[in-house]
Amino acid sequence: MSDIIFILTVALLFGGMVLYSFGFAAFVFSALPADVAGPLLRKAFPHFYAFVAVTALVAAGLAGPDNVLAASLMLMIALTTVLTRQLLMPAINRATDTQARARFKVLHSLSVLMTLSHIAAAGFVLMQWV
């Protein structure tokens, strides 16, 4: 039963990251003017990162002693998400506020790569049960 809960937790993580990244964020920018979409996403991202970190941490705890690789990947997602939320996101916001466009592009690209790597890691873990 704990294996099923683990898989469902990883699936929730994977689906939540994909939906937020490719669905919600894209929709907000296509449906709202940029001066509204930007502040909305700025308020939403801390919640997204908290969801990812907590869900990945729960999944790491559920992985069990026989699944060290999956537990390690989930722990890596949780830890790097906390760093992204606490360090990278404020730096992106500062770059936006000071209109440092080049810095914003670099930092935003880094956050996108981080999220894509999290999605890939969660997908990899899910593929182990297919």
Does position 130 have pLDDT exceeding 70, yes or no?
no
Radius of gyration of the chain (CA): 16
pLDDT of residue 24: 94
pLDDT of residue 15: 98
Tell me the whole-structure pTM to 2 decimals: 0.94
Q: pLDDT of 30-47, one tens digit each?
A: 999 989 999 999 999 999
Q: Are residues 105 and 84 in contact, defined by beta-carbon separation less than 8 angstroms? A: no
Whose structure tokens read 């704990």?
2
CB contact set of 42 (below 8 Å; sequence gap of 6+): 93, 96
pLDDT of residue 2: 81
d(CA 118, CA 122): 6
- Between 66 and 95, residue with greater pLDDT: 95
